[in-house]
């Protein structure tokens, strides 16, 4: 039975990527060895890493001066690494609190210095993006989360700052056109639009590093990883390879402009149903709605059993909302076809 | 052509594990979804994680009181995490320096307190294991590396200490019978005897944690990971699944006693050839020879071209020694069949 995978992450990946990834486990590159049993320093794997890094630079139109890293530990490790590498001794950082992940990020930063929470939408259960705040000029950096997976909100514009701008882009990188050069550091767990869990993308301007006065353990030091081309220690070979395949797929498709168009179409279709069908109500403020994670609920909870059954019979997977919001969440990452959204909308029409 | 994979890591895994891992990328558990596109909190994946943890406990005969974690970052991340979690503020730790990895481990520990290097075999290019040293009673812990992948030496006995004993067992865990309860903390990157790169096994006695007086960032805090059953953040799903399959394979085979017998046979076969064939010479001191990584060289370098050609034609892969030792290194992890060693020995006989 064909499944329609709306999982929030780990999430759907392109079928052709899954096929190639599966093949590589048995015989990589026609070498009669598995991808996961060859040396990460072999010519074939070094080529994979180089290709992945170059695809990131190409897809995001990154100019010289940005280093691209594939690390481990997920965005959660970046919560502390960004602070460790950028917050000066006795320094201060500014955070925008737009949800669970922002909130976890700033909690870790507090171990390294003063954290100034410029604005928070916690008062309304994180259903909007705060907009009126001033970035203090003495902050070592400003940190934002571009898309809030759990609540279904997304930053449409980013703050202007005189200092450094850091962005957790885990759940919407490679999904929409943005001027990526407005950021000094971007990080993203792979497991949404890029690949399987286990790799973390970090994009960082070389020139901002090494200025904190801190001694940083090697594995947490961006400069160490840059110096070794993401091979300071054994990289997560399979996750990097599968990410490379997904980036290649996106590039072949026409890059971010092409996927943005598709993502807008998919989101428009579902939001239109939510707004026109009295059986459903959206969670996020309209102007801040995410194109990636669409949160909604039934207006009558008595319809729940019926709707869940319909979804189940239609092969819809991963629609349950996060426990902190409840209701439903349709995650519509790059690899989700429009057809799957159409199937969901058809079931919604039956309520 | 059948390959004989002597890679030092990432390294050979059982064929049946590779087959199942490959299948899971297309259709996991008969669910018509890929292993890498389902939620890590789904029932099916939580079962994988539980199974992997229980297999570790069973295979190593761990009593109650030990927590088993699957983390990210490799042994290199453990170099700093062990110190962060165990070295008291203004504390001291004792290290045995038996090679590149010990040396990297103690370098990271120095950021957290005083490091007492009890003994080192650096004077002889790390070709032996130092044995005469006293563990100071005021050390917060003692750290050893059980097997030195690069140099081909292995600890046959472990120091007795009044304090905590920590072991980097990356390259020989699950390969030989040891009383694992003599350790308070064991860590190991997965990519030798356990699975693909991208997962790291940590085994730690609960009761030793939370006693340093330090505030530890969440991702570096063993107690945080224990509290969330290795799901504090998204785990490296594919690496954990493939590790579970390998542990299952080992268990079905008869566990560590059974594999130890095979590993001894394989090592005996190759060491016998090195010792009896005047064309070759071993690198490590005989009493400290590793069963996992066998380092040797040609007595006459003029034979190199001939030997390399023979190996190549026989499908032998990954035999090149590490650049810091030179010569050859045959890594003979659990999944390497005796047949591959026989093929290598046959080629050596031609020199």
Helices marked H in B87-181 — which ranges?
100-109
Size of interface A-B (CB pairs under 8 A): 190
User: Which DSSP string corresponds to B146-191?
Assistant: SEETTTTEE-SS----SSEEEEE-TTTTTSS---GGG-SEEEEEST
Q: Averaged over A71-91, what is the pLDDT?
A: 97
For residue B306, the distance in angstroms to the closest alpha carbon of chain A comes to: 22
How far CA B75 is from CA of A71, A120, B80, B195, B229, in Å, comes to: 14, 38, 9, 14, 19
Answer yes or no: do A276 and A245 share one domain: no
Residue closest to A101 by CA, chosen among A61, A124, A74? A74
Given B97, B172, B184, B192, which residue is catalytic?
A: B192
**Is residue B339 in some structural domain?**
yes
The DSSP bridge pattern shows strands B114-120 and B92-97 to be parallel
Answer yes or no: do B144 and B194 share one domain: yes
**Is residue B274 in some structural domain?**
yes
Per-residue model confidence (pLDDT) at position B2:
84
Answer yes or no: do A51 and A133 share one domain: yes
Residue closest to B170 by CA, chosen among B196, B145, B195, B152? B145
State pLDDT tens for residues B179-216.
999 999 999 999 999 999 999 999 999 999 999 999 99
> Where is the domain boundary, B226, B253, B280?
B253
Under 8 Å CB-to-CB from A162, ≥6 apart: which residues?
A135, A137
Asked if A72 and B236 come within 8 Å (Cβ–Cβ), the reply is yes
**Is residue B190 in some structural domain?**
yes
A135 forms bridges with which residues in the sheet?
A: none
The dihedral region occupied by A326, where left means phi > 0, alpha psi between -120 and 50, and beta the remainder, is left
Answer yes or no: do B154 and B240 share one domain: yes
B26: CATH: 3.40.640.10
B217 contacts in chain A (CB < 8 Å): 79-80, 108, 111
Answer yes or no: do B94 and B151 share one domain: yes
For residue B276, the distance in angstroms to the closest alpha carbon of chain A comes to: 30
**Is residue B247 in some structural domain?**
yes
Number of H helices, E strands in chain B: 9, 14
For the CA atoms of B50, B55, B56, B58, what is the dihedral angle to 10 degrees?
120
Answer yes or no: do B125 and B142 share one domain: yes
Please give the share of chain A, as a percent, with pLDDT higher than 70. Answer: 100
Residue closest to B225 by CA, chosen among B68, B46, B41, B49? B68
A23: containing domain: 15-253
- Using CB atoms, which residue from B39, B217, B237 is nearest to A111? B217
Predicted confidence (pLDDT) at residue A121 exceeds the cutoff of 80: yes
Tokens in use for A238? 């399979």
Answer yes or no: do B219 and B149 share one domain: yes
Predicted confidence (pLDDT) at residue A110 exceeds the cutoff of 80: yes
B74 contacts in chain A (CB < 8 Å): 72, 233-234
**Is residue A125 in some structural domain?**
yes
H or E segment to which residue A244 belongs: helix A237-253
Answer yes or no: do A96 and A58 share one domain: yes
**Is residue A219 in some structural domain?**
yes
Predicted confidence (pLDDT) at residue A166 exceeds the cutoff of 80: yes
Sign of CA dihedral A219, A199, B43, B191: negative
Asked if B79 and A235 come within 8 Å (Cβ–Cβ), the reply is no
Answer yes or no: do A151 and A33 share one domain: yes
For residue A55, the distance in angstroms to the closest alpha carbon of chain B comes to: 21
How far CA A22 is from CA of A55, B21, B27, in Å, comes to: 21, 8, 10
State pLDDT tens for residues A290-336.
999 999 999 999 999 999 999 999 999 999 999 999 999 999 999 99
> Where is the domain boundary, A196, A218, A253?
A253
Per-residue model confidence (pLDDT) at position A236:
98
B189 contacts in chain A (CB < 8 Å): 234
* Coil, helix or strand at residue B271: helix
- How far apart are the C-alpha atoms of A135 and A104, rounded to whole Å? 20
Asked if B197 and A8 come within 8 Å (Cβ–Cβ), the reply is no
- How far apart are the C-alpha atoms of B192 and B307, rounded to whole Å? 26
- How far apart are the C-alpha atoms of A345 and B181, rounded to whole Å? 57
Q: Quote the number of domains for chain B.
A: 2
Here the ipTM equals 0.97
Q: Averaged over A22-35, what is the pLDDT?
A: 96
Tokens in use for B95? 């290290």
How far CA B71 is from CA of A178, A239, B198, B230, B273, in Å, comes to: 33, 15, 8, 7, 40
The dihedral region occupied by B133, where left means phi > 0, alpha psi between -120 and 50, and beta the remainder, is beta
Computed over its alpha carbons, how large is the radius of gyration of chain B?
A: 21
A268: CATH: 3.90.1150.10
A80 contacts in chain B (CB < 8 Å): 217-220
Interface test with B, best of A103, A217, A239, A241 (most B CBs within 10 A): A217
Answer yes or no: do B278 and B139 share one domain: no
Helices marked H in B136-279 — which ranges?
222-227, 237-253, 255-276
Asked if B238 and A235 come within 8 Å (Cβ–Cβ), the reply is no
Answer yes or no: do B108 and B25 share one domain: yes
**Is residue B229 in some structural domain?**
yes
Residues of chain B with pLDDT under 70: none
Answer yes or no: do B20 and B152 share one domain: yes
Q: Confirm whether B168 is a catalytic residue.
A: yes
Cis amide leading into A10 (omega within 30): yes
Asked if B107 and A218 come within 8 Å (Cβ–Cβ), the reply is yes
Asked if A72 and B74 come within 8 Å (Cβ–Cβ), the reply is yes
Asked if B22 and A19 come within 8 Å (Cβ–Cβ), the reply is no
Per-residue model confidence (pLDDT) at position A6:
97
**Is residue A329 in some structural domain?**
yes
Please give the share of chain A, as a percent, with pLDDT higher than 90. Answer: 99
Exposure string over A305-337, b if 16+ CB within 10 A, otherwise e: eebeebbeebebbbbbbbeebebbbbbbbbbbb
> Where is the domain boundary, B238, B253, B268?
B253
For the CA atoms of A261, A262, A263, A266, what is the dihedral angle to 10 degrees?
120
Whether residue B144 contacts residue B165, with contact meaning beta carbons closer than 8 Å, is answered with yes
Place of tokens 């071993």: B282
């Amino acid at each position: 039975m064909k499944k329609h995978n709306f999982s929030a992450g780990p999430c759907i990946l392109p079928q052709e990527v899954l096929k190639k990834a599966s093949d590589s486990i048995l015989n990589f590159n026609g070498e009669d060895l598995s991808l996961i049993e060859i040396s990460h320093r072999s010519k074939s794997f070094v080529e994979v890493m180089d290709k992945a890094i170059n695809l990131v630079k190409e897809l995001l139109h990154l100019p010289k001066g940005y280093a691209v890293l594939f690390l481990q530990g997920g965005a959660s490790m970046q919560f502390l690494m960004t602070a460790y590498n950028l917050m000066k001794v006795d320094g201060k950082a500014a955070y925008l609190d737009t949800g669970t992940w922002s909130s976890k990020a700033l909690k870790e930063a507090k171990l390294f210095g003063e954290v100034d929470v410029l604005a928070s939408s916690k008062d309304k259960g994180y259903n909007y993006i705060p907009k009126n705040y001033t970035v203090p000029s003495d902050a070592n950096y400003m940190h934002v989360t571009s898309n809030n997976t759990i609540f279904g909100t997304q930053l449409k514009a980013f703050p202007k700052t005189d200092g450094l701008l850091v962005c957790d882009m885990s759940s919407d990188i490679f999904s929409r056109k943005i001027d990526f050069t407005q950021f000094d550091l971007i990080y993203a767990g792979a497991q949404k639009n890029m690949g399987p869990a286990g790799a973390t993308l970090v994009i960082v301007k070389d020139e901002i590093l090494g200025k904190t006065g801190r001694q940083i353990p090697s594995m947490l030091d961006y400069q160490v990883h840059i110096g070794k081309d993401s091979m300071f220690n054994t990289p997560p070979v399979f996750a990097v390879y599968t990410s490379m395949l997904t980036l290649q797929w996106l590039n072949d498709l026409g890059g971010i402009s092409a996927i943005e168009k598709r993502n807008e179409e998919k989101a428009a279709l579902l939001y239109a149903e939510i707004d026109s069908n009295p059986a459903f109500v959206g969670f996020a403020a309209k102007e801040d709605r995410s194109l990636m994670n669409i949160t909604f609920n039934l207006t009558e909870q008595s319809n729940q059993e019926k709707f869940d059954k319909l979804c189940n019979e239609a092969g819809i997977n991963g629609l349950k909302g996060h426990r902190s919001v409840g209701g439903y969440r349709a995650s519509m990452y790059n690899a989700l076809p429009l057809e799957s959204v159409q199937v969901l909308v058809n079931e919604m029409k039956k309520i």
